[in-house]
Structure 1
């Protein structure tokens, strides 16, 4: 089996891949069932069951996980005595945010300017299609040389830990020699990249109460404690003057010694407005991969339209804190809660509630699987060698798998390069990246099976 024949097969399968991704994107599979119907996620899970069954997978099952969502599992047997590789993706997606900000409908895959737009195209429904393409290419060129397990999660974006808890309760289910997490991305299009580090994450809901009810701001303003103003004070305490994250007791001076991220390139990738400065200190790589980062995800307070002249009795916010390897997410959660409570002014009543958590992750990059992946990437991306980068996001399952299977080699690849704009409006995937990474994965499975390095 040559790399050229694998590449030719994947190229011939791309029209089918587009049709399948179109079908998957159409499911509004946001795992927040207060916003989107549960039936949308269940429909996506059934689609995946049918797809795996059609590919010859055995033991295909919908797993009801403890957080009330569904993951999909399947097993494809390989030759006797072969190694086992687990392929991961997730089918749940982020909400579309502002529908009016999308140039095309978020749940309709639309081709524009050489990219495929739609929620989940890159993160991470496209990752499942990547796995299917790689397996189909191997089948057409001599067969799949390893045992393959596929797990497709239904609540990764919510961070509610359903699949992690299920895996812990069924430790043999996902056991493998190597694990490919298809939920990261190249450092930039055309530069093959393995993500070797992930920051962890904690989510905390903050509630501040000061009055029994709202008051007229003309009659009581100036002496009555304003809960919204107190919330603003607390949130401001989470950042230094330069924008660096400041949580009492949490270190924020680590450095990243790997692949660096040019400041101007980052500005372009992040679409920073002209004249607006980047925040924080150190290199960009330090800030987004090696240090904690706080983000206010949402605030409950009166909208501008329809607001009344009132002193607010209550206000709340949802706060995300990303934590780098070397920092325990549970400890960071408690430090964040203590900080919020300590910095609440005026004796206001304050409550903090943890609502999600995931540990950071660092891979062992000195392993046979990484050498097999390096060879695969060099073949799929002629003239390029594999790079290693960090990623500011978190995939909590990685640490669960690493703890359950300490001998397994874990690699992170995927379609979420900067132009994909995951979690934002107008998310998209590059079909060229989908094609080349599918070739990469097929060649990796061949290399890993044979022990090539």
Structure 2
């Protein structure tokens, strides 16, 4: 059976790649209201692809205006077979400045061993991976398959809780496969078992009611930029360890991240020293991490000789698995209020949050998945991998379907550049991903029979 499925994936690959390229050409940028029609067209394309494979499938939305269209469908296997929910998302990130791309962002282009274009990996390749698995079996699916392809993941999945609630009976399942992560390296597969959460907040520091002359008042009156700089400096010690009290940290999987690879993949400038203490993967996966991702202050060009009355920063705080967003937001607010200098006024506003996730990847379903991955990668066993980024909707699935085994997989590799310019899919690795998911459905059917 495995040899038959391997041959079937090889046979289907040209058509699957054509389907992926057609989907990539649709500019389904959910963050851009001007392209709402493209997001709808993308959903309809996904619906049609699965309808052609015999799914009872529809485009749905819980919003009154029909925005954020998702695709939900089902195709049954044998009576009494387990049910597997296959999740992906068809919306994509904005492409930003086209000049930063080496190829047109919405015209899929092969260069070397990669297919470039926005969504080639995140996450339209995930959609087509699910399509490949069901197409490989045709009318002989070994499991019942529910397909759920979301349309607003890249803008925070705001309507996901409502969709899960409204369509809970349709989405009920024994196993959930979330194809929105990646693999450890080219040639080394992975299951993602932990992800950090996120708290984003805006902090405004005000020292004056209006700007005043820096010569006449400087040295006595603090300006807001200096005050904000002191506050930002209070977040870390001299080694880069986070100083916010009351946050959780934990151990990470025993995975080696070689220094040379770490520097190459991070884009670190020569001579840069790493922040914090602990292993590289602990600092990336299971410790909290704070970054300043935006500043509102006068520009350098054209700045006048005045004391700045107010300045604002956006704080992005990644939260460790085992912590929760409510606690992190409260501890961050306490730190800000305690450390703002010179008696400055401070305004703290939480922008958004997302929960961290930790998956107990033990048991027969996970064993079946690991066996499928090892077979697809010719004997290389998958790594249990953490992810420093956040996929908050995974926590929603765990809450809605607490008895389901959740498998977080994906098509990305360390050089995919998801969300950035020149996003690309490694085609040879993708073929292994297609085979792995197909074998996984077979293994799950045999395991849960």
Please give the TM-score of this superposition, normalised by the length of structure 1: 0.91
2:49 maps to which of 51, 54, 64: 51
- Structure 2 equivalent of residue 320 of structure 1: 316
Three-state SS of the structure 1 residue aligned to 2:246 is: coil
Structure 2 partner of 1:256? 252
Please state if 1:329 is matched with 2:325.
yes
1:276-315 equivalent positions in 2, closer than 5 A: 276-315=272-311
Residue-by-residue CA offset, 1:154-175 (whole Å, 9 max, x unaligned): 2223335321343145432321
Alpha carbons of 1:12 and 1:322: their partners in 2 closer, same or farther (altered >3 Å)?
same
Structure 2 matches for 1:46-445, cutoff 5 A? 46-65=44-63, 69-139=68-138, 143-218=140-215, 220-252=217-249, 254-445=250-441
Task: Map Cα deviations across residues 287-311 of structure 1 (whole Å, 9 max, x no partner).
Answer: 0111111122222334444544443
Aligned match of 2:447 = 451
**Which whole-Å CA distance do the structure 2 matches of 1:307 and 1:47 have between them?**
51
The Cα shift of 1:371 comes to 1.3
2:82–2:448 Cα contact (<8 Å) kept: no
The Cα of 1:195 is off from its aligned counterpart by 1.0
| Deviation for aligned residue 1:436 | 0.8
Higher mean displacement: 71-80 or 188-197? 71-80
Q: Secondary structure at the match of 1:64?
A: coil
The 1-side partners of 2:104 and 2:297 are apart by: 29
Distance 2:260 2:81 in 1: 47
State the SS of the aligned residue for 2:412.
coil
Using the TM superposition, name which of 281-290 and 153-162 deviates more: 153-162
Gaps of 5+ in 1: none
Q: Which SS does the other structure have where 2:180 is aligned?
A: coil
Q: 1:358-382 CA deviation, whole Å, 9 max, x = no partner?
A: 2221222222211111121122111
Q: Deviations over 1:143-191 (max 9, x none)?
A: 2111111111222233353213431454323211000010111111111
Contact kept? 1:71, 1:163, Cα under 8 Å:
no
- Once the two structures are superposed, what CA deviation does each residue of 1:28-81 show, in whole Å capped at 9, x if it has no partner? 3333246x6333323322222222222222142222359963322122222221
Conservation of the 8 A alpha-carbon contact between 1:65 and 1:166: no
**8 Å CA contact 2:182, 2:411 repeated in 1:** yes
8 Å CA contact 2:157, 2:393 repeated in 1 = no
Question: Separation in 1 of the partners of 2:38 and 2:206?
Answer: 37
Greater Cα shift, 81-90 or 205-214: 205-214
Give the SS at the match of 1:208: strand
CA contact (8 A) 1:134 1:441 kept: yes
Is 2:29 the partner of 1:30? Answer: yes
**In the aligned structure 1, how far is the partner of 2:247 from the partner of 2:334?**
11
Comparing 268-277 and 126-135, the one that deviates more: 268-277
Q: Is this contact kept in 1: 2:47–2:57, CA < 8 A?
A: no
Q: List gaps (5 residues or longer) in structure 2.
A: none
Q: Hey, what's the Cα distance between the residues in 2 that align with 1:281 and 1:267?
A: 17
Does the CA contact (< 8 Å) of 2:62 and 2:162 recur in 1? no
Deviations 1:333-385, CA, capped at 9 Å, x for gaps: 22122222322223333222222222221222222211111121122111311
Alignment TM-score, normalising by the size of structure 2: 0.92
For residues 49 and 346 of structure 2, what CA distance do their matches in structure 1 show? 49
Note if contact 1:66-1:166 (Cα within 8 Å) is conserved in structure 2. Answer: no
1:223-263 deviations in whole A, cap 9, x for unaligned?
A: 454333333322222222222333232244x3224323223
Secondary structure of 2:202's counterpart equals: strand
Q: CA deviation at 1:136?
A: 1.1
For residues 84-131 of structure 1, what are the alpha-carbon distances to aligned partners after superposition, in whole Å with 9 as ceiling and x for unaligned? 101111223333344433222333322112111222222212111111
Distance between the aligned counterparts of 1:248 and 1:97, measured in 2? 37
Change (3 A) 1:278 1:95: farther
Distance in 2 between residues matched to 1:240 and 1:105, nearest whole Å: 43
What secondary structure sits across from 2:351 in the alignment?
Answer: strand
